[in-house]
A and B are shown apart, each in its own frame.
Chain A
Amino acid sequence: MTTRRPNLLASLIAWPLVLIIAFPLAWMLLTSIKPAAELFTRTPQWLPRSITFEHYTRVLTETPFLQYFGNSMILAISTTVLVILVSVLGAYSLVRFRYRGRETLAALVLFTYLLPSVVLISPLYLMLVKVGLANTLASLVAAYMSFALPYALWLLRSFMAGIPEDLESAAMVDGASRMGAFVDVVLPQALPGIISTALFTFILAWNEYLYALVLVNSDEARPLTTGVMNMLISAFNIEWSLLMAASVMMSIPLVILFAFFQRYLTSSFGAGGVKG
């Protein structure tokens, strides 16, 4: 720590940049509370002359927004829980055990980063049809695993590799079983990493667009990303105020998560995680 005093010069440089970066978000917020009539003026006003929440009520009452919102929630939470369950065990296995093919597996996980979603999308779709999951939220969870799991494994693997093995050995010397030591020693140590991985997974699932576009074609399983585009950008209208209101509302869960978990964000990278 260099100094406790605020660095005024750095503040003067940083804050204008921060404001520029945040401007699009502020503009989204402002647009969403402007009456539609103020939107289509050829000289846009900075601040709304009057504030209205009608766009929010219209999105909530006249469109399937809430249904999409619920779908996105179920989707993101299920994906996160499943990915974390599988990847915590998998990452632990990759860093602490020795067996044949382990290195190959680790390389395979890395390789899966290369895969563009578009490569997998058609065969994945056909497979999901065969197992009878097509057009359900479950099909999207399966599809999202294809990119979320390698990512989670990679984050957790480097995170767990940073946990000293002595603690586990000590617990096992004290009579704990291997899995007991894992639960008592490794999990608590890895908790910040697990939380930040879960956060990233949730965000990936919440924001995914391409698979949702192709794999799902009924409102019962459509998440927000494709739902909002589908209902508000159409051949007969582009309702910017509604789009901005919907955008604000679909970002709210992210804001909440972000506020709570911001301090965990850097942790998965912090413990030398980004060394790969």
Chain B
Amino acid sequence: MNQPERNSLRRHITRRGALRVLAGSGAAAAVALTAGCGSKDERTTLRWWSPQASPDQLKAYKAQIAAFEAANPTIRVVFEATSDEGYPAQFATAFAARQLPNLVTHLPSFAAQQYYAEGLLEPVDDVIKAIGIDRYFAGANEVYRTSDKHYCATGIGNTAADMLWYRKDLLAAAGITAPPATWDELRSAAQKMQRDGIYGAALPYGMNAMTSLIFIGFIHRAGGQVFSPDLQVAIDSQPTYDALAFFQSMREFCPTGASNFSWGESLTAFVSGSTATGIYSGRVLANVAAQNPAIADAIGCTTYPTMSRDIPAWTYNDFPCLLIPKGAPHLAETKAFAASLYQPQLYAQQMHAAPGHVLPVLRAVADDGFYRANPLITRYAAEVDLMTKAATAGHNLGQETAAHKPNLKANEIIASNAIAELVQRVVLNKENPKAAVAATAVRLAELMRA
């Protein structure tokens, strides 16, 4: 064999070799993918979804899972975080594909009602029975009652999501002695406290669920409603104009970026000390403790002011709940696991993971010494008690008042951002409020019909 030939042969071989490596790695990749990447577990797997997944909450969930797995060695529970603004999309595809989680927690009650009405949920009557309905606060499960006399979900907690958080030090510095109770007082307080780069308030003006959910509260705090008790569109009325006017008048006291605020931004603005008041749930307590302990002694909360003193407070409680999608496998195991989440000690620990944010639905736990011994709950006992009371009396678009029929379209109305758009049109685009509200009313009617 002469030299060039050998060279060409070697080149030949290496190139063939290279091709073989390429083909081989392709096959290997295919095998790895079809094998599903990872060893198969013999145990039954339950998938648990929740949008509430801060690191501390994850730890509490893991403790609950570990306890259940120890008692049921044949079952494995996998927790997966879903997105808070994005859950409707994730659920739509999960249902469409029948790729369902076994258990979902911390979705708002109106989502549960809608999914149940669409035939997508398993009633959870058994779970409630296993927990014991008299262990809940009285009537705590009424919001999950369905027209066919079942429960579409059960409460995993309560949240007073639109408390007025304020800074006592800044109020005092502005010469204000009592936290504001009406819109006029709030506006003037915000005006007095706004200086040196500190803004008066952290209201959301974004095109998102938070803005819709929060603004609905303002309509009620002006004495109005979005739908009448028999679910006719009732938004086109004076209270809505008043609420819009108030929202508009507050814009100058909110940070520039408020037109993109959702929950996270609004919360961070208050916690970081950039705004003198905030609108949020008890999550403020843990975040202040972790991120800005300097203001920990100066914060306090009250129910959000109403337009005038004769209008009662209205608190937005999303009624975070536990639901079971229909068609997911291992129903009995799922129900057993669901009930196990309410074992008092572990349940209290789950509440401790977000003290004051997710408030207990179990009466015994709320008064229990172990639950109350949490440092933050002890430190802010008055605030936690106030939030517990406000949340218990709270409502959301799924049932705006006790007199309302459940609104099965609430989930889609929020997802459509129709109400957030109304706020943006009037506040940011300075459109005529009456015309904008009228257009929104038409839109809501369409959504109800769809």
Physical contact A–B (CB less than 8 Å): yes
Query: With contacts A85-B22, A220-B37 known, is A235 near B263, CB below 8 A?
Result: yes
Shortest distance in angstroms between A111's beta carbon and chain B's nearest beta carbon?
27
Decide if A214 is an interface residue (CB 8 Å cutoff). Answer: yes
B residues within 8 A CB of A235?
A: 51, 84-85, 210, 262-264, 267
What sequence of 0s and 1s flags, for each residue 30-50 of chain B, a beta carbon within 8 Å of any chain A beta carbon? 101110111000000001010
Please indicate which of the listed interface residues B15, B53, B99, B287 has the most CB atoms of chain A within 10 Å of its own CB. B99
Number of residues of chain A lying within 8 A (CB) of chain B: 44
Question: Is B84's CB under 8 angstroms from A214's CB?
Answer: no
Number of residues on chain B facing chain A (CB within 8 A)? 59
Does A126 interact with chain B (Cβ within 8 Å)? Answer: yes
Pairwise interchain contact B89-A141, C-beta atoms closer than 8 A: no
Say if the beta carbon of B81 comes within 8 Å of chain A: yes
CB-contact partner of B93 in A42, A78, A125, under 8 A: A125
Cβ–Cβ contact A78 & B291, under 8 A = no
Q: Is A129 an interface residue (CB 8 A)?
A: yes
Whole-angstrom distance between the alpha carbons of A122 and B92 in the complex? 11
Q: Decide if A136 is an interface residue (CB 8 Å cutoff).
A: yes
**Chain B minimum-CB-distance residue to A141:** B33
B66 within 8 Å of A (CB atoms): no
Cβ proximity bits A104-148 to B, threshold 8 Å, 1 near / 0 not = 000000000000000000100110110000111110010000000
| Minimum Cβ distance to chain B for residue A228 (Å) | 12
B268 at the interface (CB under 8 A from A): yes
For chain B, residues 290 to 345, give those with C-beta under 8 angstroms from any C-beta of chain A. Answer: 291-292
Looking at the assembled complex, report how far the CB atom of B70 sits from the nearest CB atom of chain A, in whole angstroms. 22
A269: shortest Cβ distance to chain B, in Å? Answer: 23
Q: Which chain B residues lie closer than 8 Å to A221 at the CB level?
A: 37
Within 8 A of A (CB), among B80-96: 80-86, 89-90, 93-94, 96
Kindly state the separation between the CA atoms of A129 and B327 in the bound complex, as whole angstroms. Answer: 15
- Bitwise interface map of A from 208 to 240 toward B, beta carbon under 8 Å scored 1, else 0: 000001110111110000000111011111100
> Given that A134-B97, A236-B287, A237-B54 are contacting pairs, would A81 and B37 also be in contact in the complex, using a CB cutoff of 8 Å?
no
Decide yes or no whether B172 CB sits under 8 A from chain A.
Answer: no
B26 lies within 8 A of A81 (CB): yes
**Contact of A234 with B84 in the complex, beta carbons under 8 Å:** yes
A138 adjacent to B34 (CB under 8 Å): yes
A218-B47 in contact given A183-B16, A234-B53 (Cβ < 8 Å): yes
**Chain A contact residues, majority secondary structure:** helix
A 25-69 to B, binary, CB cutoff 8 A, 1 in contact else 0 = 000000000001000101000000000000000000011000000
Which residue in B26, B82, B85, B354 is a CB contact (below 8 Å) of A217? Answer: B82
Q: How far is the CA of A134 from the CA of B96 in the complex (A)?
A: 11
> Is A203 among interface residues, defined by CB-CB distance under 8 A?
no
Q: Find out whether the CB atom of B97 lies under 8 angstroms from the CB atom of A236.
A: no
B80 CB contact (under 8 Å) in A122, A128, A217: A217
Chain B residues with Cβ under 8 A from A234's Cβ?
51, 53-54, 83-84, 263-264
Q: How far is the CA of A135 from the CA of B90 in the complex (A)?
A: 11
Decide: B93 and A217 in contact? CB cutoff 8 A. Answer: yes
B99 contacts A134, C-beta separation under 8 Å: yes
A85 x B26 contact (CB < 8 A): yes
A-B pairs, top 4 by smallest CB distance, nearest first, are A235-B263, A129-B97, A78-B29, A138-B33
* Chain A residues packing against B (C-beta within 8 Å): 36, 40, 42, 62-63, 74, 77-78, 81-82, 84-85, 122, 125-126, 128-129, 134-138, 141, 183-184, 187-188, 213-215, 217-221, 229-231, 233-238
Give residues in B with beta carbon < 8 Å to A: 11-12, 15-16, 18-19, 22-23, 25-26, 29-30, 32-34, 36-38, 47, 49, 51-55, 78, 80-86, 89-90, 93-94, 96-99, 101, 197, 210, 262-265, 267-268, 272-274, 283, 287, 291-292, 354, 357
A-B contact pairs, 27 of them (CB 8 A): A40-B274, A74-B32, A74-B33, A78-B30, A81-B25, A85-B23, A125-B96, A126-B96, A129-B99, A134-B99, A135-B99, A138-B36, A184-B11, A187-B18, A213-B89, A214-B89, A218-B80, A220-B78, A231-B81, A234-B51, A235-B84, A235-B210, A235-B263, A236-B283, A237-B54, A237-B268, A238-B265
